[in-house]
Structure 1
Amino acid sequence: MDWTTFFEPITLSIQISIIASLIVFALSVVIAWIMAKVRFFGKSIVETLLLLPLVLPPTVIGFILLVWLGRRSWIGKLYESLFGQTLVFTWEAAIIAATVVAFPLAYRTMRAGFESIDSELENSARAFGASESQVFLYISVPLAFRSLTAGYILGFCRGLGEFGATLMVAGNIPGKTQTIPTAIYVATDGGSMRMAWAWVGSMLVMSFLMLLLANRFTKN
């Protein structure tokens, strides 16, 4: 077995998932708190849009991202003017794909954590003069810490296993955008079952350990 070939997709998948899950965490914490605590017109529509990637086929998400990030889009043109290369079929595109598909799962977990907080605690802090940002940072976040951590872990796992959207928007370039799922697909298609099983085993082990950790945080 070529160990360099074996570890490249694993290393790349972990790097992409870490960055994507950090982005997802930063977005989800704020958005989940707003959706859990603030009432506004059209909230159900916003909620539906936020969860839409959870039910859409990954290829549909990949197609949408391909259109939005392609050379003819304003995002693609801006990226090319700044960095001198197209955004699609790059490492950055793989991060974007992982972020989009991982967000809904992390968001739902974190929102549930914020909704479980006794609102009287937050209202008491406001009554004593705490601002909304202070309530958020010193009351809501600490009380929802377990759910926030579980949301981050689940987002990481979802990004780690992303296949369809990543393949469409980032491709399958060895050493650049080839993640574990795409590497398994190519190995299976090419008859390299031993290599495919090795990647499948590594994915099973990592996912099992991460989910076991997430379960510990979601237990009461």
Structure 2
Amino acid sequence: MSVVAPPRGRGRARRAAGLGTPTVLVPPAVLALLFLFLPTLALIVRTPWTQLGRIYGERGVWTALRLSIESSLLATAIAVVIGVPLAWVLARVRLPGVAVARAFVTIPLVLPPVIGGVALFQAFGRLGILGGAIRAVLGEDLPFTFAAVVVAQTFVAMPFLVITVEGAFRIADRRLEEAAATLGASRRRIFTHVTLPTVLPALVAGTVLCWARALGEFGATLLFGGNNPGVTQTLPTDVLTVFSNDPADAPALSLPLIAAAVIILGALRERWLRPVAVS
């Protein structure tokens, strides 16, 4: 006795019929979308477009933007230099305490930015754990300097890079590394010529996310670096100053950060925004 299987198209249609969107999910989904979209739309709509020349000329926007770009790029470079090795250790080393180290890496992700600034003061401030050593090396205290801005941005942004790259190291195909080892390649050469190229997409994505977070950092930067125009005033802290004095001009200063966000989303669209096809 033979059993005739139903046509593939009919079976697929029956499965698809049971996978429709539940009606109850649509209203909260639309509400969530509006909740996330409306503030950005309001920011763009309320921008005094006819006054941009005056605002950008009077508010020191370009200086603050230059400091933001310079500090965020330096913070990202530091994060790459020390964060990639940390990601490799967290992904590959099997020693007691690695799980605790991974937990500490994620703390800046959930720590309120202002608390992050307080923590930086306790570590690197005048009376901090390393305050005396820093003063002996630099000849001055670290807080309220441009270097403090870079330190604050690195502290807040580096976890984005570490977590992204660690995941890539963890799932990378180690057979390529083993093959290179059997051919006599050194550990350093395997890491630079085999492992890193394997995780390059994740490294690029993590670097961009790290830079974006550093560029938009506000709380820890304000508390630890200060808000001194031309020295430590980044664009996010400049927005606070303008909002305190003339709220109507504040949306205009937000435009460069919105533009940066759009560029970042465009750069990461293949990795983060492309729908996943399930076969």
Instruction: Please report the TM-score for the alignment, with normalisation by the length of structure 2.
Output: 0.74
Establish whether residue 215 from structure 1 lines up as the match of residue 266 from structure 2.
no
C-alpha deviation, 1:113, in angstroms: 1.9
Residues in 2 aligned to 1:37 and 1:9: alpha-carbon distance in whole angstroms: 41
Match of 1:134 in 2: 189
Q: Which secondary structure state, in structure 1, belongs to the residue aligned with residue 268 of structure 2?
A: helix
Residues in 1 aligned to 2:204 and 2:160: alpha-carbon distance in whole angstroms: 12
Establish whether residue 206 from structure 1 lines up as the match of residue 245 from structure 2.
no
The match for 2:130 among 75, 78, 84 is 75
> Which aligned pairs between 1:44-59 and structure 2 lie closer than 5 A?
44-59=99-114
| CA deviation map 1:158-185 (0-9, x unaligned) | 0001011011101111111111111111
C-alpha deviation, 1:192, in angstroms: 4.2
C-alpha deviation, 1:217, in angstroms: 5.3
| 8 Å Cα contact 2:172/2:198 also seen in 1 | yes
Letter in 2 for 1:42: G
C-alpha deviation, 1:84, in angstroms: 2.9
Instruction: Please report the TM-score for the alignment, with normalisation by the length of structure 1.
Output: 0.93
Match of 1:23 in 2: 78
Structure with greater contact order relative to length (CA < 8 Å, sep ≥ 6): 1
Please identify the structure whose Cα radius of gyration is greater.
Answer: 2
- Ranges in structure 2 where 5+ consecutive residues have no aligned partner: 1-53
Do the aligned partners of residues 26 and 211 (structure 1) sit closer, same or farther apart at CA in structure 2, a change above 3 Å counting? farther
- CA RMSD, Structure 1 to Structure 2 (Å): 1.7
| 8 Å Cα contact 2:72/2:211 also seen in 1 | yes
| 8 Å Cα contact 1:149/1:214 also seen in 2 | no
C-alpha deviation, 1:106, in angstroms: 0.8
Match of 1:42 in 2: 97
Match of 1:102 in 2: 157
Identity rate, percent:
32
- Ranges in structure 1 where 5+ consecutive residues have no aligned partner: none
| CA deviation map 1:45-67 (0-9, x unaligned) | 11101111111111111101011
Letter in 1 for 2:99: S
The match for 2:239 among 184, 187, 200 is 184
| 8 Å Cα contact 1:184/1:200 also seen in 2 | yes
